[in-house]
Amino acid sequence: MLTNEHIIDQALNRIVAGYVFPEKAAELDTVIRGRLAAGAYEGLDGAALCTAVTADFQEVVPDKHLRLLWTDVPQTPVRAGDADDADDADENAARAAFSARLREENQGIRRVEQLEGNVGLIDIRLIPSADEGAAAIGAAMQLVAHTSALVLDLRACPGGMPEGAAMWNSYFFPDDQVHLHDIEDTPSGTSRQFWTVAHLPAPRYLDRPVYILTSADTFSGGEDVAYTLQAHGRAVLVGETTRGGAHPTTRYAVTEHVLVTVPTARTISTVTGTNWEGVGVLPDLPVPADQALATALKAAGDRLAAA
């Protein structure tokens, strides 16, 4: 059985090697190793160890994607001298698991409804990849294509894929000429641009009001959709300030049951020049999450009546 010292050492090595802000990673490394040497994690194991270390991570660096996680499903840990192959295996395994989950959950689309007043509602629980999710997203948008206003419910969306977020966002712009944001990757020193998609499997939703419901649980990829559409003036956000995780993340297996999640990149909006990391996405109409739908429907009804 691996010791806590080994687990924390391996996790910190991953963070120092890849974290999006190297100077913060160095600070974190010093503080956590000091706490380890002082006996802060003695007597802890399994999920309890992961919870304690994660709390300390986020006390030093308040990044909600920076975590030590316990998983009941055995993983393949990194092997000495085989780090590159292990990295690929980690990433492939994580993608395969997420793809399987998305297939089980209808690519993250829980329900689509036509509400009173010809207002469409799409309840989104995960953001899929663009390739596997395109057909499901298109089917949902086809069902609301002739509504007078649209509500996207992201209150229970914990995240997903940036390519899928770009596809969702593309439906609310007229063409492929909108530069949404960039993602800057620290380990590779590269930057990737995200633009609206040229060809979509359903009609674009243009010249009609869009409302997005948010909660304190809305996170990561769900925040991407909300923040981007709000920043570009394409949606009104209703509900609570979101959780605040804007850094794309890579998971590494430290042991068979312990993963470290390392934010390796950061999202930069072409409108604001920044992102929602640590602060969340702020609603335009702040109300408790359980009142968000009613508030959005009233706002939509008033706007449609005025028009």
Q: What is the DSSP string of 204-255?
A: ---SS-EEEEE-TT--THHHHHHHHHHHTT--EEEE-------S-EEEEESS
Q: In one letter, which amino acid is 282?
A: L
- What is the per-residue pLDDT for 76? 72
Rounded CA gap, 180 and 270, in Å?
6
Contact 40/8 with Cβ under 8 angstroms? no
pLDDT the model gives residue 82: 44
Beta-bridged to residue 184, according to DSSP, are 191, 266
Instruction: Say how far residue 85 (Cα) sits from the centre of its chain.
Output: 26
| Mean pLDDT computed over every residue of the chain | 92
Residue 182 φ/ψ, nearest 5 degrees: -120, 155
Q: Tokens for 228, please give them.
A: 């981007």
What are 160's strand-pairing partners?
127
Specify the pLDDT at position 16.
95
Question: Is the separation of the CB atoms in 107 and 128 below 8 Å?
Answer: yes
Tell me how far apart the alpha carbons of residues 68 and 50 are, in angstroms, rounded to a whole number: 5
Distance separating alpha carbons of residues 190 and 101, to the nearest angstrom? 30
Q: Output the DSSP codes for 24-68.
A: HHHHHHHHHHHHHHTTTTTT--HHHHHHHHHHHHHHHS--TT-EE
Instruction: List, for the chain, all residue ranges whose pLDDT scores fall below the cut of 70.
Output: 1, 78-94
Amino acid present at 75: Q
pTM for the whole structure = 0.85
Amino acid 3 reads T
Strand-pairing partners, residue 237, are 212
Amino acid found at 8:
I
Amino acid, res. 278: G
Say whether 192 sits in a helix, a strand or coil.
Answer: strand
Q: 């270390």: which residue's tokens?
A: 53
What's the alpha-carbon Rg for the chain, to the nearest Å? Answer: 21
Delineate the domains of the chain, giving CATH numbers in brackets: 4-82 (no CATH), 105-245+280-306 (3.90.226.10)
Structure tokens at 253: 């297996």
Helix (H) or strand (E) holding 286, with range, is: strand 285-286
Total residue count of the chain as it appears in this document? 307
For the CA atoms of 268, 270, 273, 278, the dihedral, rounded to the nearest 10 degrees, stands at -40
Q: What is the pLDDT, as a whole number, of residue 85?
A: 46
Tell me what pLDDT residue 80 has.
41
